[in-house]
Chains A and B, each alone.
Chain A
Amino acid sequence: MRRGAWPNLIRMKDVDAKPTAGHGGLAGYRSMPGVHDELLAADGSLRPAWSALMPRLAAMGPHELGRCRDGALRLLREHGVTYNVYGSDDGLSRGWLLDLVPACVTAEEWAGIERGLVQRARLMDALLADLYGKQASLREGWLPAPVVHASGAYLRACHGLVPPGGRHIYLHAVDLARRPDGTWCVLADRTQAPSGAGYALENRIIVSRVLPDEFRECGVARLAGFFGGLRDGLRAAAPRAAATPSVVVLTPGPYNETYFEHSYLARYLGFPLVEGGDLTVRDRRVYLKTLEGLRPVDVILRRVDDTFCDPLELRPDSFLGVAGLVDAARCGHVVIANALGSGVVESPALLPFLPMLAKAWLGEDLLLPGAQTWWAGTPEGLRAAVASPERMVWKRTFGGAADPVFGEEQDRVDRERFLARVKASPADHVAQERIELSTTPLWTGERWEPRPMVLRAYIAADGKGGHVVMPGGLARFSPSPDSPLVSSQRGGGAKDTWVLAEGPVEPVTLLRPGGQVVRLERAPADVPSRVADNLFWLGRYAERLEHHARLLRATFHRLGGESTPDAQAELAGLVQAWVSLGHFPDRFGKEAGEAELAEGLMALVTSAQRPGSVREILGRLRYITSGVRDRLSNDTWRIFQRLQGHGRAGSGPARIEDVPALLNTLVMDLAAFSGMELENMTRGHAWRFLEVGRRLERGMNLLDLTRAVVRTGGHGPATLVPLLEVADSVMTYRRRYFEQVHLATVLDLLMADESNPRALAFQLEALGEHLEFLPRDRWKGGEPAEERALFQVVDTLHGADLGDLGSRAEAGDAEDLDGLVGRLAAGLRAISDHLTLRYFSHAVVRTS
């Protein structure tokens, strides 16, 4: 922080060391004309909500504020708070922007908002029950039928589905804005899988840590009561009478924009975070697949959009859902929160009809008015909307999160073109009055600035038939003082919201209170099958990458022709092996020139499309590691980040001379990963599966390469030396045999030698040990087929006379050896298949 950069504030501090007028520390802060400023009243005085906090902040001075701000940023980084932005190049996560200064609301004002929010939650539940039932709202004309019938969010498969307890919405979010006259109005409802509650919590935790005195002294209403209510509500929803109902949080996975929040909420509420692949429907009930078996699931808090939740009855192309979920919900065996299909009431076209619907379904006047909104699907709506298009914010009727169009930003040509589109399909458009959003003070690090804000408020079912409202919510501000668009996808940031209570505040926390006796847990916790599956493939791909890097390195090494006395002959043998492994066409072994060969080899390093290329395997590794991020230590994660650095577009080697160095680095980084795995991973099921994958892959690669060498027909040193090199066994061989290489002795070292960590026999022994430790108490009974397959491979290897087979192959009769190696490889693949069927089972879900 540069001290000299704050002339205003430094001057203010001098003058206002003891705040007098209350906001003297805010010199330079100007509210904008025609809008409601949250901080300052029209006469420039401080509003009551800020009277406790702002004098304290102003008194802190720029240096202290800067220190707190840095502290907040550091906490955000440490907590790994991220918000994934779609279509951004720099990969998954972008930091979450949090402003240190909370938005403040008085408890008195909040009480009014709260009543309106609870009423809204009741209304939406009643409306959903009707729309998925008798549809009186449509028959009576309270709501135009096309608003429902033309909506992709109206799920016909869920019609007639009455959720247990009759409740559709367990967590409801409402976007609120304050008008220039100081009253609040609703911009939108989020009813299917509202996001942001977890971010609100995270913001609170951070702000209360960097402003601890202010937080304590201002009497801020706590959030824990709300999350406790949400947790109790979800548990109470369980349709099965169970002592501990099983609730899970369903996420689409790490590629989703709010994945951080999913894992954060799951951890905070104490529910497992699962993906669609972790769940299965059997006998019309939902189960969590763990290595130990199937565990019944009673309630699913879902963060997957509803059309993606069941490929059987909803979108057939979805890979995020659970086949049969709708049917399980239909017979009341599972509660989905929020109910599938609840997104239908999110359409902004509903807003104009809510006062009528509140009268009809609740017999009450709507407490929280919506922003004035017109659905262009009715003649009156269209007339009103196009009468003053420049004053409107245009939304799509069923557009979901699509960006709105601001009428005032259009020039004449744009507007005419746009209005022509509206008139061509009026039912697809909704016009909402452009609200001059209220502004809230933002401390930019240099000065105080007013920023337009909206507040996302949250209502949860409390498990006792009522609702609980989060005191405050997620305040979001726009990226610049004059931008009307407030969206996390488009920049801008968030604030904590403080509802300032008058009385003392009861502390509540869901975290384990200090002093409570903690039960020691050493037995492995449930490992979801998906995690085991990912670790298995992590082992396989890491090993495959190392094998390819070694084989490529051996080849590149000999390209110049001078590196070893027999380089030319060995290169020819290696090229033959590549051909035999299926990476090059036949003619490469015969007539391809050096240049073409070099180009082909480069493609095996850098081409992302080429199956088996270094880049392609790195891509698979990236996908897999992102799914098991929580199982890898930070150091291991760093190794993978480094590895990925080698595979990134543009950073690959441009020149062929640079390739060997790159391959060396790859091999070293992979060795570092093996080291981490060996020394730092707990020996639980997760580690076993990683190891099993690695051992299987190493055995298969060795067998495939051996077979390729046998098939090339050359059994002399020109092919065997590179084989030993790739298997990292040259030194051992030399020490042991001191002689010319022979196929029989090479085979013994690479196949049968149990002391050689690169030999097949070693892999088989390791596999035998690992398989024994895998969980036996599985949902599928029967003989462990993978163990039988392993015994067979072991028997086949023991029963083979490698010396004889090798000698005969050298004499020109390689048929039996070829057959043996083929049988062994097929045996290993069978083990992999059996493991997949038994433990993962959901590896590929297809629709037909």
Chain B
Amino acid sequence: MQRYRITHVTTYHYEAEVSVSHHLLHLQPRATARQRVQGFDVIVQPLPSSRSTRMDVFGNHAEVVTIEGAHRQMEIVMGCRVEVDPVPSTDGIETPPWQDVAKACAAEGWSDAVEAGEFRFDSPHVRRGPACAAFARHSFPVGRPWLDGVRDLCRRIHEEFEFDPRATTVSTPVEQVLSGRRGVCQDFAHVMLGCLRSLGLPARYVSGYIETVPPPGQARLVGADATHAWVSAYCPGLGWLELDPTNGLLPSDRHVTVAWGRDFSDVSPVRGVLVGSGSHVLRVSVDVEPEAAPDATAGDGRNGG
């Protein structure tokens, strides 16, 4: 089990005065079977004129914040403590061939049709297309067990794609990431979703944090962490299995889940609409601080993002 103290600071600097701004936040980590959240708080400056929280359709915590009155800057500070249990090993687990999983998920009257079934379709950022299907096929030859397929796909994205924050933006289409073979965690998660869904396999987008481990001999940098994203794929009988294509591994207790949805657009941590002219500068800083001594495994330098 791991314990973390997480701080996530989002700052907007506006070039010209903004008279009203509305923000939709997905910042509060949800409780899951192996994750507990304590002492969660979000502080917004300037003081919002209204705040409302709710549970969204996926069971995430969502909050709408409105700031009125001229402002040139706003800051959202999320702080919380989270306890995460490790994921039991998947070694030795047998899963059916992937086509059987796809068929079961498409069948009428399937018991999870409503919950998992909706993660098989196109979503605003992820369109199933021939390119996704072609890439996915290499990991899913006919008859291959579902688990082997999803692990292989995750590994290939990790190995064949290059981490490059300058290659993409929040709205780069999946096809472009697929052909350019570069991007960030959000892009890799979207690619993997597109691949799985193009085969008829349900998969959802998970947004959260990852504990970054500094290279050996260096101190941990405060605020140098980033928000992270990975995927969760569904197999009847087994349930949801998380996979992190950015790091090519199965998340365990170093990944902190905040929210899940069909893709980034459902769970974007901070989304805003403002009334005013001029451009803005956005700064995000994330700090995932372990509270207990972490295991002494060094990362390969490619963790968050």
Question: Could you list which residues of chain A lie within 8 angstroms of chain B, going by C-beta atoms?
Answer: 135, 138-139, 141, 144-146, 149-150, 156-157, 159-160, 280-284, 311-313, 316, 323-324, 327, 330-331, 378, 780, 833, 836-837, 841-848
Contacts and interface: CB of A to CB of B under 8 A. Distances in A.
28 contacts: A139-B113, A141-B108, A145-B113, A145-B114, A146-B121, A150-B118, A156-B57, A160-B57, A280-B20, A282-B49, A282-B66, A283-B49, A284-B52, A284-B66, A312-B23, A312-B64, A312-B271, A316-B271, A323-B275, A324-B64, A324-B273, A327-B52, A330-B52, A330-B54, A837-B17, A837-B70, A848-B271, A848-B272
Given A145-B113, A327-B22, 13 more contacts: A139-B114, A157-B57, A159-B57, A160-B57, A282-B66, A312-B271, A313-B24, A313-B64, A841-B20, A845-B273, A847-B272, A847-B273, A848-B12
Contacts of B274: 845-846, 848
Contacts of B22: 281, 312, 323-324, 327
Contacts of A331: 52
Contacts of B237: none
Nearest to A321: B273
Given A138-B114, A149-B118, A282-B68, A843 B57 contact: no
B122 interface: yes
A138 B117 CA distance: 11
Interface string B2-32: 0000000000100011011011100000000
A141 B113 CA distance: 9
- Chain B interface extent, by class: 35 or more
Contact of A135 (B54, B64, B114, B271): B114
Contacts of B56: 156-157, 159
A135 B274 CA distance: 34
A144 to B, nearest CB: 7
A282 B273 contact: no
Given A141-B109, A848-B282, A841 B19 contact: yes
Contacts of A159: 56-57
B173 interface: no
A152 to B, nearest CB: 8
Interface string B263-274: 001100001111
B276 interface: yes
A33 to B, nearest CB: 42
**Interchain residue pairs A-B with the least CB separation, the first 7:** A149-B118, A159-B57, A323-B273, A150-B121, A156-B57, A327-B64, A844-B277
B50 interface: yes
Interface string B91-128: 00000000000000000110001100110111000000
Contacts of B277: 836, 843-844
A156 B273 contact: no
A138 B112 CA distance: 11
Contacts of A330: 52, 54
B72 interface: no
Interface in B48-90: 49-50, 52, 54-58, 64, 66, 68, 70
A837 B276 CA distance: 8
Contacts of A135: 114
A846 B113 contact: no
Contacts of A780: 19
Interface in B265-305: 265-266, 271-277, 280, 282
A135 B114 CA distance: 8
Contacts of B121: 146, 149-150
- Which has the most chain B C-beta neighbours within 10 Å: A157, A331, A846? A846
A312 B63 CA distance: 12
Contact of B24 (A141, A283, A312, A845): A312
Contacts of B58: 156
Nearest to B119: A149
Contact of B50 (A149, A283, A848): A283
A841 B273 CA distance: 13
A311 B52 contact: no
Nearest to B51: A284
Contact of B117 (A145, A156, A327, A843): A145
Contacts of A323: 22, 273, 275
Given A378-B108, A846-B273, A837 B113 contact: no
Contacts of A150: 118, 121-122
A88 B137 CA distance: 44
Contacts of A280: 20, 275
A848 B23 CA distance: 9
Contacts of B70: 837
A145 B118 contact: yes
B259 to A, nearest CB: 13
Contacts of B64: 312-313, 324, 327
A831 B17 CA distance: 14
Nearest to A154: B118
- Which has the most chain A C-beta neighbours within 10 Å: B22, B68, B277? B22
Contacts of A139: 113-114
B261 to A, nearest CB: 8
Contacts of B276: 844, 846
A841 B20 CA distance: 9
Given A160-B57, A280-B20, A845 B280 contact: no
Nearest to A139: B114
A160 to B, nearest CB: 7
A311 B56 CA distance: 17
Nearest to A326: B64
A841 B272 contact: no
A72 B210 CA distance: 71
B266 A156 contact: yes
A848 B275 CA distance: 11
Contacts of B50: 283-284
Nearest to B277: A844
A829 to B, nearest CB: 12
B71 to A, nearest CB: 12
Contact of A149 (B49, B55, B117, B265): B117
A833 B266 CA distance: 36
B10 to A, nearest CB: 10
Contacts of A324: 22, 64, 66, 273
Nearest to A330: B54
Nearest to A425: B128
A68 B118 CA distance: 57
B68 to A, nearest CB: 6
Contacts of B19: 780, 837, 841
A316 B23 CA distance: 12
A312 B54 CA distance: 15
Contacts of B12: 848
A312 B273 contact: yes
Nearest to A140: B109
A135 B117 CA distance: 13
B55 to A, nearest CB: 8
A283 B20 CA distance: 11
A323 B117 CA distance: 31
Nearest to B109: A141
A307 to B, nearest CB: 10
B290 to A, nearest CB: 32
- Which has the most chain B C-beta neighbours within 10 Å: A156, A159, A284? A156
A847 B23 CA distance: 10
A189 to B, nearest CB: 22
A532 B118 CA distance: 46
B66 A146 contact: no
A378 B64 CA distance: 39
A135 B275 CA distance: 37
A403 B66 CA distance: 41
